[in-house]
């Protein structure tokens, strides 16, 4: 069909593989996300902690630079699991939470508000492709500010410190990969579920963050009242701290939630979020 013809013709050209269709959704959603200058600024700012950590690691192993700055090796922190926990895990966990809060609710709620789902689902795209397409955006962005910098720092430290350090702290790398993967997967699925149930973006953001804070408050009240770990099962932060400590081999305090329970609770939370998400992804509402 040519512009000057203005007559209808079918299409007989090449076609992309069916499995790759969800990437179209991700690509368009990412383009929309990066159209916001505010978001771009935030995304860049997310790498500042990594920059600081990189400088610290670099200085730790650069005698010339240290002497230039009149620093002693003892003045610079030891690079171990505690450094990675406080220098990487804590700031990047918070940054990824904010990132998912900013992006997640904008992914599905506009489609629901504008009844766009029939348009997607009438094409060779099913519910799973749609969810995968949207989830990939969150996972990709969150991984870029969590997994990628943490592994970069781990490999940088390994390269500068050498074999002895790797032998002693080798578990940090896999821990970063597993811990952050669990965190961003759980968080992203939950954000999409909230986005699918609340059509108004600002309210979805408030609900997303509010629900995490409220459950944390309630859980801590239970812990304080009864002095038992089971209050932690609704506190996302407690569950993740338990998993991080286990993965990094850090000291486990007495009376905290058992690690197996933490894994099960996170799994159930993610499964429930996924269930709620799938319930909403349908072409049309059936009103009984």
Partner 1 sequence: MTIAAREASGQDSNTQRPRPVADAPVIELDGLSMSFGSHQVLQSLSGSFNGRCIGLLGPNGAGKTTLLHTLLGFYAPTAGTASILGRDIGREGKAIRELIGYMPERDAFIAGMSGVRFVRLMAELSGLPSKQALERAHEVFFYVGLGEARYRKLESYSLGMKQLAKLAQAIVHGPRLLFLDEPTNGLDPPARVRMLRLIREIRDSGSANLVVSSHLLRDVEECCDEVLILKDGHIANYCNLEEERKTNRKFLEIEVRHSVSSDRRSESAQDIFSAALRTRGCEVAIQNRRRMKAVLPETVEIADLYVAAQDEHLQIRKLDYKRDSLEDIFLKAMDDEPPSSRAANGAAANTAEGQA
- The stretch among 64-72, 109-117, 154-162, 228-236 that binds partner 1 (CB under 8 A) is 109-117
By beta-carbon proximity to partner 1, the closer residue of 16 and 211 is: 16
> For residues 101 and 94, what is the distance between their CA atoms, to the nearest angstrom?
11
In the list 28, 200, 230, 275, the residue contacting partner 1 (rule: CB under 8 A) is 28
- 38 lines the binding site for partner 1 (CB under 8 A): no
Long-range contacts of 181-184 (CB under 8 A, 24+ apart): 181/143, 181/147, 182/240, 182/243, 182/266, 183/93, 183/96, 183/146, 183/240, 184/96, 184/100, 184/138, 184/139, 184/142, 184/143, 184/146, 184/147
| Residues 172 and 249 sit within 8 Å (Cβ to Cβ) | no
- 16 lines the binding site for partner 1 (CB under 8 A): yes
In the list 8, 167, 225, 227, the residue contacting partner 1 (rule: CB under 8 A) is 8
- 285 lines the binding site for partner 1 (CB under 8 A): no
- 32 lines the binding site for partner 1 (CB under 8 A): yes
Closest listed residue to residue 147, CA positions, set 209, 84, 238: 84
Least separation, in Å, of the C-beta of 141 and partner 1?
A: 18
In the list 55, 68, 82, 118, the residue contacting partner 1 (rule: CB under 8 A) is 118
- 252 lines the binding site for partner 1 (CB under 8 A): no
- 171 lines the binding site for partner 1 (CB under 8 A): no
For partner 1, the binding residues (CB under 8 A) are: 1-3, 5-18, 21, 24-25, 28, 32, 110-111, 113-116, 118-126, 282-284, 286, 288
């Amino acid at each position: 069909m040519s512009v000057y013809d203005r007559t209808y013709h079918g299409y007989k050209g090449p076609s992309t593989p069916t499995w790759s269709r969800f990437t179209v959704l991700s690509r368009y959603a990412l383009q929309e996300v990066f159209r916001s200058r505010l978001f771009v600024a935030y995304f860049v700012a997310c790498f500042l902690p990594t920059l600081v950590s990189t400088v610290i690691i670099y200085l730790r192993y650069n005698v010339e630079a240290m002497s230039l700055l009149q620093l002693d090796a003892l003045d610079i922190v030891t690079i171990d699991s505690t450094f990675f926990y406080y220098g990487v895990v804590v700031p990047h966990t918070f940054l990824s939470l904010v990132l998912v809060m900013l992006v997640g609710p904008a992914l599905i709620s506009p489609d629901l508000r504008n009844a766009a789902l029939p348009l997607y689902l009438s094409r060779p795209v099913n519910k799973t492709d749609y969810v995968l397409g949207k989830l990939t955006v969150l996972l990709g962005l969150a991984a870029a500010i969590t997994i990628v910098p943490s592994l970069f720092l781990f490999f940088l430290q390994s390269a500068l410190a050498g074999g002895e350090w790797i032998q002693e702290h080798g578990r940090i790398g896999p821990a970063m990969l597993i811990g952050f993967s669990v965190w961003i997967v759980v968080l992203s699925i939950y954000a999409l579920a909230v986005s699918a149930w609340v059509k108004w973006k600002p309210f979805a953001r408030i609900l997303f963050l509010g629900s995490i804070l409220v459950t944390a408050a309630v859980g801590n009240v239970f812990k304080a009242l009864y002095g038992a770990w089971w209050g932690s099962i609704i506190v996302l932060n407690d569950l993740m701290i338990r998993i991080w400590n286990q993965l990094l081999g850090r000291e486990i305090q007495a009376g905290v939630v058992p690690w197996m329970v933490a894994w099960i609770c996170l799994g159930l939370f993610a499964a429930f979020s996924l269930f709620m998400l799938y319930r909403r992804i349908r072409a049309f509402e059936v009103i009984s």
